[in-house]
Amino acid sequence: MELDLSDIEFVEQIKSSTSSCIFRTRWRNRDCILKVYHSITASHADPIDREVNIYGYESQAYTRLKAHGLCQMGSIPDFYSMITRINPKKWLPYLNEFFDDNLHPNAILNEYIPNLQQIGLSTFSKKRVNKLHQILAEIHQARVYHADPYPQNMMRQWPEEEDELRDYFVGALATDYEEGKIHRTWEFYYKFKSLSD
């Protein structure tokens, strides 16, 4: 399904890079992520067996992942649509970074997921790593290879109840430090290991 950009309301720009800009948007009363890509063409120096246009391989990957049910399972954000050949002049100031491009940009519209965190030591547990391994295997079964599995490119949602627990622990830890004894946080040192396994 392809949308018209006029169906989408821009809320804010989240990130900008040399390859794309990421916006938080609204579509059909849903919070969404719109990733707009600079369109590039292959040069004679690029490998002929590899897609160099990031939009080309990311849109194909999301199409495959959705067809294999990974969006429906909640393993990855839902993929709503592609938008091709966007005229950036019609969408100033939002798309001013695309104004001087030789080719019109293209975009992907995905589900917005709040409370995303990069995968790292603070979000690590055996249970989560096993789940991540399972998700990567399912992604590979959909014939999509995650060629850039660095922590900054893999996210997880931080559940609200973990936010509350973390906030309580940080506050209690500061109070224990001021008092010079482990009074409020002692049980976390014994119970946290079983919660994170």
Distance CA 143, CA 15 (A): 28
Prior bond of 159 cis (ω within 30°):
no
Q: Round to whole Å and give the CA distance between 136 and 149.
A: 10
CA atoms of 167 and 154, how far apart (whole Å): 24
**105 token code pair:** 């940009």
Residues 168 and 96 placed together within one structural domain of the fold: no
DSSP, res 149: -
Terminal-residue alpha carbon distance, the chain: 41
User: Domain ends where: 93, 113, 133?
Assistant: 113
d(CA 127, CA 192): 13
Evaluate whether 46 touches 52 at the Cβ level (below 8 Å). Answer: yes
Is 153 within a domain? no
Is 130 contained in some domain?
no
- Tallying the residues shown for the chain, one arrives at 197
Question: Smallest Cα–Cα separation from 36: which of 2, 83, 78, 77?
Answer: 83
Query: What average pLDDT does the segment 38-67 reach?
Result: 84
Summarised one tens digit per residue, pLDDT across range 58-111 is: 899 899 989 999 888 887 889 999 999 999 999 989 999 999 999 999 999 999
Tokens representing residue 54 in the block = 């990031």
- 20 and 103 together in one domain: yes
Q: Lowest-confidence range among 23-27, 105-109, 171-175?
A: 171-175
Give the amino acid at 32: C
Q: Is residue 40 part of a domain?
A: yes
Of 44, 78, 113, the position where a domain reaches its end is 113
Residue 1: pLDDT band by 50, 70, 90 thresholds? Answer: low
Residue 133 lies in a domain: no
The reply to whether 182 falls in a domain is: yes
% pLDDT > 90, the chain: 34
Name the burial class of residue 102, with classes exposed (0-12), middle (13-18) and buried (19+) by CB atoms within 10 angstroms of its CB: exposed
User: Among 57, 82, 113, where does a domain finish?
Assistant: 113
- On whether both 90 and 179 belong to a single domain, the answer is no
- CATH number of the domain within which 28 lies: 3.30.200.20
Residue 123 lies in a domain: no
Quote the pLDDT of residue 112.
92
30-39, 74-83, 158-167, range with the lowest pLDDT: 158-167
In a domain, 63, yes or no: yes
Looking up tokens 């609200």 gives 160
What is the number of domains present in the chain?
A: 2
Between CA 139 and CA 67 the distance in angstroms is: 11
Give the domain extent around 90: 5-113
For 39, the token pair is 């369109």
